[in-house]
Structure 1
């Protein structure tokens, strides 16, 4: 590999193209401002009014007096093959409340690509299984399948009122029995490996008690306050990347041994039929509550979803959704082929978060617009870091682990990091420079001036690029060049090598950042190696403490820091303290007292206690208080106290720049796809728990000329 100052030839070519791409990106951002080609997807002058409409209404809209339906469904009604539309909808259907919406037309297809085979990213287009919904980029919790809900004063009792008359996609009535089936016959069934979700536990960590009051009313009881229950019912895509929360009992009970004695003993294993049948993303027979249902599934190649005639959501003018007939996902794993699909117009929509298409591609995508008719939209990522680096606080080698846990070592490396150059070269001067934080859009940072100051203090804590300061700090902790070879040694004089570990198939974003970071750390005498690791087994190597760093993630969680706090506090094994995070999960259980005489790295699972009085123990204490605190403002203050621990003992997260854009390609004939300016906070695309694009209801998108946008693969 040809290198110059630690940069590969590819990275140098990337840097040489940066200036032109930055200009194009700036123009693209301006073009999506609503001054032209607004939320309607471009081309239609009548869209100018909707371009000024922003966010979503926070109160439920009135139910329309009359309903409309797709012509193909009206035909089936006329033939006696379907009930009338008002009988297929619940008594009070969900009226989608986005302010940018305009009345649509039925027909046509979305043709897009995804980079992963057998991926649940397909479900990220569909919010239909979610009990509650996030609106306004997570600022508002709105109804979903649950029409209304309430809790007692200390948030230990929650009651959920579901819509009356909900139906599965096969027309069978939905009821709370479908939730109890999931809870009692899967989660609580020891023979099934379903894990209870976060919202199923109280602040003490014990499981809730669930009771169906009637067919549409559910009560959740906790032994301690569970104040974030509503937030967690809205997060993820249920029955997608998130927990199921329901399964069609009338269909799946035939594959469950409790209801069918002929089901074989291996029913809950990979060889069993049950989990294959419940996989609605690839099983056309499995009923759904989403706007589209699986029509055909070709492993590793193509998945097609078609309209659900019983979908329970409507537009403000009474049109049963979705407008668009089908969504076709073609699986394209090769990054160059992904770009060709976009540049040659082989698709009519693309959410780049599911591919390797990135900001460096914007110039080419803009040049191809006349041919492809694909307009470039940019939605805010809402992340707190860009491409991230975090050391493994539980690295298996004792001397290196001790050095990693020394805050001054990480602080020195942070000051040696020329983030501004990475921001320029990789992110084309978008976003804001940051040490690395939770999402800057999180409510804790906007609730008052104190919250704003706390965010800024965390963001700027070790941000300054100062190589001389970095060298001085390393000298102070004994990380010096003792043998004169130009590389610093460990405090005991032994060799020091820092590895930047990353998936071997990582996106160029992470690779380019790693190359620049390695150059910066080598410049202060740290022998830094790039280490691509095969993806298979990467997670296990991390949680066993075998990998030194992880360099191909970003911090994207929100809309508040506690709903999914894994970056803030170690409570599981995939973030910056994997063995200590795993120990958190066994506290208070019989497992806590087991294997105490076994090496932490050889325990099952690998786990270790934090240092008494140390930063992780402090974080745990604050987090445990927050879990049972029903007062929202007091929870915010506990988050601020956790951030102070990060500032004093950190940085644990070495970011680059926060809130960079995500690319969205929208055909100029497609309507109701929001621009950045339509969205309450400009978008919140990075976190999986704020499911994008599902939160913007693709069921409301439509074609101005649907007859011209059918899927040729279906004809």
Structure 2
């Protein structure tokens, strides 16, 4: 494809297109052949699928999820105090239209877009602010050097840039292209700038990815062609990507996607052909469809399903302690009682739920983050993870009854249901949402409700799927229990499952109000009591951010997990470790046998370098 353009004089020779500092990418199976079209499918607007396939940040997740490695930035270093980070980008990088990528582009993003108070679409990232909320200082001393100056140590900054597509993509702004729409340069208004600043639907937009958009049909199909100036090569020096074209079709109906996948319509699809429950059907059709499933690809679920137990329960979004009812206070005290939470956990028959909901796919286990997390890769880490996965996960209804009886959570009026210790009637309310999919949450809630009925706990399922109050109830602590799907690889960049750091509209887990307190610097939310689990976990997170040693940061994670085991559970899990169907045509090569798709942070499959995938002609 590209050689013909070179011979026709329409494209410079390869030596002039590659940067001085190329990135050599290992291939999974073999050196590939050029050519072909990769047909893929997505179930939504396709944006997430597109951005995962084109994952190419400054710093990358490794393909095996064991940590991070250079991407567009070839290296970086910290000052001795960890407050200044200097990134060195690859010399000679070019946008897909052949124009140089330099720090002028980064400076344009920072000064003319992010720091521009008149342009609200692009803002200063959360990580680029001081502890007082002001923008940090950035310097661009030459074409390939980017310096960030913080007011406190920022040892995890490179890793933040590696997370998914949402941290780095907003920084990639081709100045030579966007200035024609910017009012401070050649443009007329910010609305036009916003419209044109969408690389995933604008064929004229220069990118740094392996493929660039050449055609976009809203809600139907996005077509890409290979980037002739891409900056990666295979071990023999061949420029990547191998595949000439990629088409991502939008098919909202899941059953249609699964059927079309089973008929061999797509060369490879990672999130488009259903859930673990669809694997048996896809395997039955594999030979006729000319494909196979990569058996080692996992969802990465530490809890699917899971339930968050609200440690900050209250009844009104605008919390007023003076107006709070005695019943609300007593319910919160019950939810915070460890024996109550342990009783809920061991009352759940996880194996039965696994059989009913998943037909035995996966493992019955307690809530954790992803088993593939790099924090637990060492033998010591794995031992701690295994202990966490087993904590209070045994099925022991008699033990649950004993725990409940011991805290005065008994049937006070003889109606068959346990009452609050005060004697007031009590109903445990499950907020039923679609986090993890309705196919999981709805039957899981019914199983758990039935198990709790056996030990005298009256459960009401409050279906908030599609309801506007669903997020409000979760974010501001108005729920008792609510459904969740837990998966995460790195707890320093996405800490919420273990460390209560956020609440309100930013999202929350089991400590919504105490997390809000941390997030707002004490301006909102509830201050954790000294020595409480939330206080100890927040202190550990601060300790980790100030720790320059990677291994010691892993060990701090282990300390935090130990708090969850010793003083929890705060989140319940029933099952996890489910595989996910990844369909690959028999003539499609270099897709790894192993991958993780549940947590979006690693950008999978982008972290496996789809540029080295190839199609046998």
User: What TM-score results when the alignment is normalised by the length of structure 2?
Assistant: 0.90
Ranges in structure 2 where 5+ consecutive residues have no aligned partner: 316-327
Asked if residue 669 in structure 1 is aligned to residue 602 in structure 2, the reply is no
1:618 paired residue number: 536
Cα deviation per residue 1:186-233 (whole Å; 9 max; x = unaligned)?
333334254544654679987542211101111222222211122223
Q: 1:124-203 maps to which residues of 2 (within 5 A)?
A: 124-128=52-56, 130-191=57-118, 192=120, 194-197=122-125, 199-200=127-128
Distance 1:457 1:497, change over 3 A: same
CA distance in 2, matches of 1:652, 1:541: 17
Distance 1:509 1:325, change over 3 A: farther
Q: 1:545-564 maps to which residues of 2 (within 5 A)?
A: 545-554=477-486, 556-558=487-489, 560-564=490-494
2:321 paired residue number: none
CA distance in 2, matches of 1:536, 1:108: 44
SS in 2 for 1:368: helix
Asked if residue 246 in structure 1 is aligned to residue 177 in structure 2, the reply is no
**Equivalent of 1:374 in 259, 280, 291:** 291
The offset of 1:513, in angstroms, is: 2.4
Asked if residue 438 in structure 1 is aligned to residue 334 in structure 2, the reply is no
1:86 paired residue number: 15
CA distance in 2, matches of 1:369, 1:393: 47
**Equivalent of 2:608 in 666, 678, 696:** 696
Q: 1:575-654 maps to which residues of 2 (within 5 A)?
A: 575-576=508-509, 577-587=511-521, 592-593=522-523, 607-654=525-572
Contact 1:132 1:141 in 2 (8 A): yes
SS in 2 for 1:654: strand
**Equivalent of 1:497 in 405, 428, 432:** 428
Contact 1:198 1:232 in 2 (8 A): no
Ranges in structure 1 where 5+ consecutive residues have no aligned partner: 1-71, 594-599, 601-606, 677-682, 706-715
Cα deviation per residue 1:500-520 (whole Å; 9 max; x = unaligned)?
421399341333322322222
Contact 2:429 2:479 in 1 (8 A): no
Contact 1:323 1:702 in 2 (8 A): yes
1:458 paired residue number: 388
The offset of 1:417, in angstroms, is: 1.2
Distance 1:369 1:551, change over 3 A: same
Contact 1:419 1:656 in 2 (8 A): yes
Contact 1:498 1:526 in 2 (8 A): no
CA distance in 1, matches of 2:583, 2:557: 37
The offset of 1:429, in angstroms, is: 4.2
SS in 2 for 1:498: strand
Contact 1:359 1:663 in 2 (8 A): yes
CA distance in 2, matches of 1:638, 1:658: 24
Distance 1:521 1:377, change over 3 A: same
Q: 1:457-476 maps to which residues of 2 (within 5 A)?
A: 457-476=387-406
Moved more, 628-637 or 169-178: 628-637
Distance 1:136 1:308, change over 3 A: closer
Asked if residue 395 in structure 1 is aligned to residue 313 in structure 2, the reply is yes
**Equivalent of 1:121 in 30, 49, 67:** 49
1:233 paired residue number: 161
2:318 paired residue number: none
2:323 paired residue number: none
2:24 paired residue number: 95
**Equivalent of 1:348 in 267, 270, 281:** 267
Distance 1:580 1:97, change over 3 A: same
User: What TM-score results when the alignment is normalised by the length of structure 1?
Assistant: 0.78
Asked if residue 297 in structure 1 is aligned to residue 216 in structure 2, the reply is yes
1:67 paired residue number: none
SS in 2 for 1:303: strand
**Equivalent of 2:282 in 361, 365, 368:** 365
Contact 2:308 2:484 in 1 (8 A): no
Contact 2:93 2:101 in 1 (8 A): yes
The offset of 1:305, in angstroms, is: 1.9
1:544 paired residue number: 476
Moved more, 310-319 or 393-402: 393-402
Distance 1:503 1:208, change over 3 A: same
Contact 2:139 2:147 in 1 (8 A): yes
